[in-house]
């Protein structure tokens, strides 16, 4: 099985032992505490679940700058984005060395983790701008990821953490949320050797489904892990429970038994395009995938990134030997009326635009909202039904 990054075994920050966890939860109630940002909470969940292996806590400014500027921490290890706990001020914790981190995403802000503070530093405007530019390739405050990153505050609290729970992800998505440890175990139980991972924050249309089949066939994979983002999205994105139902229906109907696993992870989308694609590959290796599909405009938003920047970054910027996982570079897929099947557009050079069934996201949402199913070449009828019900519920 593919090795995790940076260690022979995963070292999740979640406290597995129930008694120890209980004792820490009790201790946390007497510790000075601070409510962290949603982004920091997502980072804590990812460290707790083993996805960010071998990270054991929040980065200090030197490590965060290294991750942003050259994807390398001060000790030489590889990590593609800063993983920070940024707050507006530290009045609530004073000069405490051990604190409780509270979860902003659950009513009552319960304790998510305990941290041993190694440093509290102020991030300068120049450092913040440099990190933003490197990770997001823009400092435009209209960029949803830039706004979220810069809106957290300028005080960085760093140090190792002990994670006590997985926020709302375990309770809200009991059938879907899985840690990297759990996914690795299941891949092993299923006897899969070659495993391709597919990232999604949307329901999967026919083109996505066929892309997964294509990747499995060409790579000769035993299994597919559909790994969906369950954290915060941008306005207008389809909520996770609806997406989950649509994907389950598709797998149930159109994938052979024991060929696809439906799972999810708890993290807020960064919309950082190429850099986020590298992060996606990083934690897919940690969860046991040998291959990862990177499509056109992967993890992008608006017009900030070129269509294939998220693929070229692996050849141009990722340090050699940093990742063992292999990238399956996909083009836009669409149904060809000429060939009566879904193809990668670059593999149909004799086609013109009119030869494909192409619908914009806006058009699809409009159709679904009006109770009109998109053509079966675009969306499976069973999947369209679930989405239509959701969109029509919005209109009532």
**Residues belonging to the active site:** 201-202
- Burial pattern 327-352, b for ≥16 Cβ within 10 A else e, equals bbbbbbbbbbeeeeebbbbeebeebe
- Please name the residue that has the structure tokens 């991030």: 123
Main-chain dihedrals φ then ψ at residue 324, nearest 5 degrees: -95, -25
Q: Measured between alpha carbons, how far is 288 from 180 in angstroms, rounded to an integer?
A: 8
Contact 250, 214 (CB under 8 A): no
As to burial, measured by CB atoms within 10 angstroms (0-12 exposed, 13-18 middle, 19+ buried), residue 172 is: middle
Which CA distances in Å does 374 have to 12, 211, 359, 368? 43, 19, 9, 7
Cβ contacts of 20 within 8 Å, gap of 6 or more:
none
Contact 40, 86 (CB under 8 A): yes
Contact 53, 13 (CB under 8 A): no
Q: For residue 198, give both structure tokens.
A: 């597919």
291 DSSP β-pair partners: 196, 326
Compute and round to an integer the Cα radius of gyration of the chain.
21
DSSP E strand boundaries for 299-346: 326-329, 333-336, 341-344
Q: Measured between alpha carbons, how far is 205 from 376 in angstroms, rounded to an integer?
A: 10
């Amino acid at each position: 099985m593919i090795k995790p990054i940076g260690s022979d075994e995963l070292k999740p920050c979640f406290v597995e032992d129930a008694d120890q966890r209980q004792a820490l939860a009790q201790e946390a109630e007497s510790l000075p505490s601070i409510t962290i940002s949603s982004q920091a909470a997502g980072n804590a969940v990812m460290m707790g679940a083993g996805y960010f292996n071998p990270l054991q806590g929040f980065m200090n400014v030197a490590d965060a700058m290294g991750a942003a500027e050259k994807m390398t921490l001060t000790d030489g290890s590889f990590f593609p984005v800063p993983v920070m706990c940024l707050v507006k001020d530290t009045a609530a914790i004073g000069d405490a060395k051990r604190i409780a981190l509270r979860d902003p995403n659950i009513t009552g802000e319960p304790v998510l983790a305990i941290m041993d503070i190694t440093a509290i530093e102020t991030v300068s405007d120049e450092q913040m701008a440099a990190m933003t530019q490197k990770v997001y390739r823009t400092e435009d405050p209209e960029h949803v990821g830039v706004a979220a990153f810069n809106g957290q505050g300028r005080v960085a609290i760093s140090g190792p953490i002990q994670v006590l729970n997985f926020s709302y992800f375990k309770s809200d998505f009991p059938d879907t949320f899985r840690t990297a440890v759990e996914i690795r175990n299941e891949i092993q139980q299923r006897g899969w050797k070659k495993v391709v991972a597919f990232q999604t924050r949307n329901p999967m249309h026919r083109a996505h489904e066929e892309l997964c089949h294509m990747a499995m066939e060409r790579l000769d994979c035993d299994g597919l892990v559909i790994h969906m983002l369950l954290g915060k999205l941008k306005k207008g994105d389809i909520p996770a429970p609806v997406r989950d139902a649509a994907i389950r229906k598709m797998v149930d109907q159109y994938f052979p038994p024991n060929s696809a696993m439906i799972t999810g992870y708890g993290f807020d989308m960064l919309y950082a395009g190429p850099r986020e694609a590298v992060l996606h590959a990083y934690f897919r290796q940690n969860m046991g995938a040998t291959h990862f599909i990177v499509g056109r405009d992967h993890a992008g938003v608006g017009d900030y990134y070129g269509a294939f920047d998220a693929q070229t970054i692996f050849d141009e910027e990722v340090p050699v030997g940093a990742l063992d996982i292999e990238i399956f570079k996909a083009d836009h897929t669409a149904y060809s009326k000429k060939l009566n099947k879904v193809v990668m557009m670059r593999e149909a050079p004799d086609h013109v635009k009119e030869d494909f069934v192409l619908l914009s996201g806006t058009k699809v949402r409009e159709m679904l909202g009006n109770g009109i199913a998109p053509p079966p070449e675009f969306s499976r009828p069973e999947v369209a039904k679930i989405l239509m019900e959701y969109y029509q519920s919005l209109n009532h």
